[in-house]
Each structure stands twice: as C-alpha cells, then as structure tokens.
Amino acid sequence: MARSLNPPRPFVRSLEEDLMTVKSIIEAIREAMHEEMAADTRVMVLGEDVGTRGGVFLATQGFIDDFGENRVIDTPLGESSIAGVALGLAFKGLRPIAEIQFSDFWWYAANQILGEASRVSYGTNGNLSAPLVVRIPYGGGVRGGLFHSQNIESYLYNTPGLKVIAPSNPYDAKGLLKSAIRDNNPVIFLEHKKIYRAVRGEVPEDDYTIPIGVADVKRQGDDITLIGYGLVLHYGLEAAANLEDEGVSVEVVDLRTLRPLDKDTILSSVKKTSKVLIIHEANTTGGVGAEVSAIISESAFEYLDAPISRLCGPDIPTMPFAPTLEDAYMLNTEKITVALRELAAY
Amino acid sequence: MPIVSIELPHVGESVVEGIIDRWLKKPGDRIKRYDSLVEVVTDKVNMEVPSPFDGVLTRILAEEGATIPMGAVIAEMETDDPAAVAQISKAPEEKVAGTVGVLVESNTNLGPTGAAVAEEPPAKPVSTARGAFYSPVVMKVAQEHNVDLSQVTGTGINGRVTKKDVLSYIESGAKTSAPTAPRPATEDDEEVVELKPVRRMIAQHMVQSASQIPHVWAMVEVDVTNLVSLRQSVREEFQKREGQDITALPFVIKAVVDSLKENPSLNSTWRDGKLVLKKRIHIGVAVSAPDGLVVPVIHDADTLTIAGINGLLRDMAERARQGKLNLDDVQGGTFTVNNTGALGTLLTQPIINYPQAGILTTESVQKRPVVINDAIAIRSMMNICLSFDHRILDGFEAATFLQSVKGRLENVGPDTPIY
C-alpha cells in the first residue's frame, strides 16, 4: 500500500520539537515492559524467541541481558503451555507477560485464556486472581497470508472476566500496557503488526498510565461519529479530513479498549452527531461493531438520524494470500471516505 | 407435492432490485412452465417473470408495489417437476463449506474492488418508505418543538427530512406558532395520485442525475437545409429499397457518433473521481412509451450505416410502444440523443442519462430568414442542445463537440453515404 500512515496529530510533534520522545508503537511497548520490569520484580516475560532473539518483532530486545533468564523465558513452541504456565505463575503472585508470536497461533491457548484465566477470580469468589497479560500481534495488510494475518478480537471480546485492549498509537500503547500489567485480571493486549513501526508519536519518558475501558475522541466533529480502533483508525482520520474538505464534520472515536467498551463516550458522541459509521478490519458478523451497534440502538435510538452503519472486513474464512485480494479485503481511506459520504448524504 | 420457492431472477448489470407491479396469477392457479407470473419494473426495463416449473401457485410473498432485491423469494409453488425436486434436495449441499472451506456466498461479495458491502443495499432503509420516513431523532426534535414535518423541506437522500433540516427549519423561525394564512388549507385543495412504479423509477433516476452531476447546458443553431432536401430526394428510393420511410434522426445520430469519436471525453463516465473513457459507442435514444420514458440503445452505433440506424430506430420505437423491449435493448448506453423537436420544442435543457457524460437534443426544424453573405435567405434551421457533466469536461470541449456535429449536419449532401 503506497499510502503513508499519518499518525494522529495530537500525538506527534515534529522532529525538531522533540526528537527524543517520538517513538514507534513497538518501541513504546518495549519501553512499557522494561519500565514495569525494572520497577516491579514480579513482572516477567515468556514466549517463543522472546529471550535470546528478543522477540520476532523485537519487543523484548535486550531484556535477557537486563533481567536474566529467570524473568525472560524462551518457551517451546506450544501456546497452550505459554498461557498455562503464565496462568500458574499469576496464581503464585507473579505478573507474567506472555507473548503469542502471531494471533494465528493463539487458538492453542484458547482454553487456558477463555476457559481458565477468565474464570479464576469469579470461580474462587475472589480468593485467587490471574494478573497476567497476553500480548498478541494481529492483523493483515502485511502480506502475511492465511496464517499470519488474522483478526481475533471477536473471539475474545465477548468473554466476561477478560479485558481486551487494542491501541492505535504509541502513547496509548505504552499507557495502556502499563495499566494492563498492573491490573489484577487477565488482559489481552492486541498489537496491530502493520502499525508497529508505521505509526510514530510522542511518548513521554516519565511513568504514566491510561485507564482501561476509556475510549478517546481523536478528532472532534458534529455531523457523523466514526468509531474504530487499531490500524483502520488511521485510515478513518484521513477519511475524516477528506470529508472536512467537503463540508462534513466527522468525529473520530478510538475505542482503545474492546472489553469493557466505553459506552459513555460512544453514546455521548452519537447523541451529538446522530449518524454513526463503525469500522474494523475483522470480519463483519459478530464483530465489535455489532456490539457497538447494539449499544447505540438500545441507548440512543431516539437520537439517530440514519441507520447505524458498519464498514468491516468481508465474511470470508481468512485473509487472502493474493496481494490484489488482500488489498480488496483491507479497509482503506478511500473506502471509508465513500461510506462517510453516503452517510452524510442520507 | 413438494413446495418450492420462486425467486426474483437476476437480470443483468447493476440491477439490484425491482418493484412488483402486478401479479398475473393468484394463489391456487395451475401454472405451466414459462407462463408469466408477475410483472416487475426495474430501473432498466419492465419484465414479466416466467414460472420456472409446472405446478400450482400456493403463496404470494411479495406484494404489489413492494421493492424487492434480486434473488429474494417472491412466491411459493407446489410442484412435482423433477427439476424442482432435484433443486430442493441439492440446495442444502450447496451451502456446506466442504473440505476446502469455501463459503461461496461470502466470496461473491468480494469483487475485485473489495466492495464487500454489496450485501447492504437491500438492508439500507434507502429503498423503503421514501418520503414518509422520519428518523427517530427527527421525530423527537419535531415533537419537542411542535413542528409539522410536512412543512419541512428535506435535503437528505430521496428528499428525506434530516435532523439538520428540522433544526434549521426551527432556527428560521418558520414555526407553527403564529400562522396568519388567509384560508386554512384543507385536504380538498389537492389530490394525491399514487404513482406507477415506472414513474417512481424515472423520478429516482432524474433526482440521482440532477443531484450528482453538475450539468452545464449549451446550444447551437444548425442549418439543415441540405439535410432536409437530401432526405426528400432519397425518400422514395429508400422506401422502395428498405420498405420503410427514412427520417432526419439517423443522420443526426451518425453525425453525433462521428463527432464522439473526435471528442472521446463526451463518450465517458465519471466513476469514483476518475474518468472512464468508453471505447465503444452505444447511443441511447429517448422514446416515449405508454408507461413513460424508455431509452433503447443502438449498440456499436459507429459500425452502422445511416440506413442501418434508421432500421434499428424504427424497430426499437415500435417495440418500446408495445412494451416489448428486453434488458439488452436498454442497457449499456454511453451517450443519449433525444429528438425533443418531435414534440414541437425549440429549446430544451435535458437531464443527463446517469452516469453518462452528456445528452443531446434535436429541436424543431423551422424555416427562418438567415443572413448569408450579407443577403437574407430562407433556410431550414434547427437548434441542437447539449447538457454535459462539468466534472468531466469544460465548455471548450463541449463547444468543439457541438461545432463538430453542426459541421457534419450542414455538410450533408448528395454524396453523403446512406447505405
């Protein structure tokens, strides 16, 4: 894709202004984990290649030198044991961060996460907790083909007992990952691969957190609310800028956390604009957009001036391998611009 | 006997829905295969849907006047036709993904442009209850401010009243509060006529074209004296040779076709911010039919002689009047010609046949005094009018095209090839 990904304005300064604090998402994630491990000896990482290799995306580069083999564990190729071991460590009072190398491999860990970790606190009346984080790189548009491109959030976000986070920029990624590590519940932290390095933005050196479950209005507007998260949010911001040139003012809401969803932010924006477009890369049926749509129709029906619209991935089994088909699958600025235009005209 | 579903058949490019005009059979009727079941109006053509099987019509699911997506079930019939029975027993198999995991239904949505929203049109309320539909927020605001919504002009799709419309109506102070109307309006003041589906379809097309295409209009005067005399002189021979009369229109169409070749931007369409030049020239000709306007298309008009165009025009006009045009006859047009002069007009400002780039009208031929070489002569004069899409071209190209048509028509003479 030839298009450049412009980071959202509030989070980026020019290089002249402050070279030191402009970071990529992967750097922000690395920094968050490093700071938490330095501050709290209970925090540790485990996963395939996270040690000597520093992770396939280099999220834990240098960690094994800084924290040693006991806190940076290279595991066998077995996601079930990665999640299961992390859960056991969490029972015993540690704060493990498990890395699943690609979202496409998470299925083997599904029972440990959905069937066990999510239920620990509820099932023991709060006597046990599972303060673990599972970091999962996800998403397409990277020519990863059928087995390195999946969007898995729909399978996770409907599970009570889990928290699910999907940041779109470095600032949010660092603040939310720190909150996730400090949280006493199992947290799934989804990292879109295409924006690991494509999106850069300001990240403060000091310690800060962003609360889980709070969405963020990335652009103010009056005519249409555009709701998304992760990669497509950036396309959405570009589309919103296109619409501004046409006299339509689009408000862009970054969900940031997919479970729990921030109903207040969603509803107050929709009540203002009366029109909604929900975008995500994951396929349409049963996706996060379906739930957002239901929330809006339940609680803001009388404020609607158009059908709640979704522009999401097509319902096909997986990301196609052929580049033309992958491009067809993926959302982009043009598709979102067209959808916004139709909604504005409605 | 097993019951099978009858679907509204897919009828061709870009037709996504049809309006049920009239059922020709009623439940209980015994039907033969290929008997006409129902008349359906689409935005391309009116058609009769034939029965796929022998059997008995058991249930009608799509009411007259309803807008139905292509492929939707419109009726059920009882049949023991082996083909139908085979279809039933085969149907569930088709849905199963199989070992390769191909979900055929979903894949059809993923066209080369990634238009994964193809399923949406039927779901959008756009196609339902137009005019009378008020969104929840519009109702709420209207109630809070005691606004009579029928007084509010809608700017949304199909004239829908939007939230902005109500709010600006309230802001403008045009409230219900202090009416000083001389006489209260009553229902007797006006008559509401239910429109035929074809009328609604035309209305929808016109609104689409007028609202999406920035029209510019231009007109030139053409001296057709030579054309008129040529036509008169060949008429008798033509009648003998072809068995029909020849009119001036095929000469005009020929001139338009040749001029389109010189000015390809007129034979094009605006698509998603890009210009699509059409390499083939298919001329739509507006024809007045009993139910309203239809535009049959002369395909590859540049390959035809004037005599050939004349023959096709006669055939299509005749079939249009009888309502016997088929889908191929009316689709694919790249430019439209309308002989409005036949209705006695001198100037018309036509609306472009969406999504084409232009439409040309020929007006009444009148004898007028004209100055030629500082002398006054009586000449047969005709205006030709052009509406064009200003996104695609500017006045310069349009004028060049008009001059090109004018030049060809004025240069018609005894040497002009007809056959």
Position A214 scores a pLDDT of 98
B94-98, B227-231, B312-316: the lowest-pLDDT one: B94-98
* B399 Cα distance to chain centroid: 26
Tokens of A22: 């402009």
| Neighbour tally for B47: CB within 10 Å | 20
Chain A residues whose CB is inside 8 A of the B271 CB are none
CB contact A156 to B (< 8 Å)? no
**Model confidence at A6: pLDDT above 80:** no
A300-309, B194-203, B368-377, B401-410: the lowest-pLDDT one: B194-203
Residue the block writes with tokens 């396929």:
A283
Position B129 scores a pLDDT of 43
CB B218 within 8 A of CB B402: yes
Rounded Cα–Cα distance for residues B153 and B49 (Å): 38
How large a percentage of chain A has pLDDT more than 70?
Answer: 94
- Per-residue burial over A155-177, b if 16 or more Cβ lie within 10 Å, else e, is bbbbbebbbbbbbbbbbbbbbbb
- Closest residue in A to B143 (Cα) is A302
For B272-298, the DSSP string reads TTEEEE-SS--EEE-EEETTEEE--EE
The single residue of B80, B148, B245, B390 carrying the catalytic annotation is: B390
**Model confidence at B93: pLDDT above 60:** no
Rounded Cα–Cα distance for residues A59 and A191 (Å): 11
A83-92, A259-268, B197-206, B335-344: the lowest-pLDDT one: B197-206
CA dihedral over B90, B92, B93, B94, signed as positive or negative: positive
Q: Catalytic residue positions of A?
A: 148
CB-closest option in B114, B124, B137 to A335:
B114
Position B97 scores a pLDDT of 35
Residue of A316, A327, A330, A331 best to disrupt the B interface, most CBs of B under 10 A: A316
Q: How confident is the model at residue B88 (pLDDT cuts 50, 70, 90)?
A: low
The residue type of A156 is L
Q: How confident is the model at residue A12 (pLDDT cuts 50, 70, 90)?
A: very low
CA distance B116 to chain A (A): 5
**Model confidence at B312: pLDDT above 50:** yes
User: Which residues is B358 bridged to in the sheet?
Assistant: B388
Class of domain B3-122: mainly beta
pLDDT in tens, A50-79: 999 999 999 999 999 999 999 999 999 999
Question: How does the average pLDDT of chain B come out, rounded?
Answer: 83
Residue A259 in 3-state DSSP? strand
**Model confidence at A25: pLDDT above 70:** yes
Contact A338 B109 (CB under 8 A): no
Contact B112 A313 (CB under 8 A): no
CB-closest option in A303, A314, A330 to B137:
A303
Contact A346 B101 (CB under 8 A): no
Position B52 scores a pLDDT of 86
Cβ-proximal residues to A9 (8 Å cutoff; 6+ apart), any chain: none
Task: Give domain B129-175's CATH architecture.
Answer: Irregular (4.10)
When pLDDT is averaged across residues A34-54 and rounded to a whole number, the result is 97
Contact B135 A305 (CB under 8 A): yes
pLDDT in tens, B387-408: 999 999 999 999 999 999 999 9
Tokens of B401: 């095209």
pLDDT in tens, B38-82: 988 876 677 888 888 888 999 898 888 888 888 888 998 888 888
Nearest CA to B277 out of B109, B397, B361, B396 is that of B397
A272-276, B120-124, B318-322: the lowest-pLDDT one: B120-124
Residue A122 in 3-state DSSP? helix
Position B327 scores a pLDDT of 80
CB-closest option in A274, A311, A345 to B117:
A311
Rounded Cα–Cα distance for residues B143 and B138 (Å): 9
Tokens of B170: 């309230």
Cis peptide upstream of residue A186 (ω within 30 degrees of 0):
no
Class of domain B199-410: alpha beta
**Model confidence at B187: pLDDT above 90:** no
Q: What are phi and psi of B327, to 5 degrees?
A: -60, -40
CB-closest option in A303, A316, A338 to B107:
A316
CA distance A268 to chain B (A): 14
**Model confidence at B418: pLDDT above 80:** yes
Q: What are phi and psi of A221, to 5 degrees?
A: -165, 170
Position B119 scores a pLDDT of 41
pLDDT in tens, A123-143: 999 999 999 999 999 999 999
Chain B residues whose CB is inside 8 A of the A330 CB are 114
Rounded Cα–Cα distance for residues B286 and B361 (Å): 10
Q: Where in chain B are the domains? A: 3-122, 129-175, 199-410
Class of domain A21-202: alpha beta
Chain B residues whose CB is inside 8 A of the A306 CB are 135
Q: Where in chain A are the domains? A: 21-202, 216-345
**Model confidence at A3: pLDDT above 60:** no
Contact A316 B135 (CB under 8 A): no
Tokens of B37: 């079941």
Position B118 scores a pLDDT of 38
Helix crossing, B395-410 with B249-262: angle to 10°?
140
The residue type of A33 is M
**Model confidence at B123: pLDDT above 80:** no
CB-closest option in B102, B112, B137 to A305:
B137
- Closest residue in A to B137 (Cα) is A303
The reply to whether A21-202 and A216-345 are identical in fold is yes
Helix crossing, A263-273 with A288-299: angle to 10°?
60
Rounded Cα–Cα distance for residues B58 and B230 (Å): 62
Tokens of A208: 């800060």
Rounded Cα–Cα distance for residues B287 and B317 (Å): 6
Cis peptide upstream of residue B82 (ω within 30 degrees of 0):
no
CA distance B185 to chain A (A): 30
Rounded Cα–Cα distance for residues B254 and B406 (Å): 12
Helix crossing, A170-182 with A25-39: angle to 10°?
30
Position A232 scores a pLDDT of 97
Is the domain defined by A216-345 classed in CATH 3.40.50.920? Answer: yes
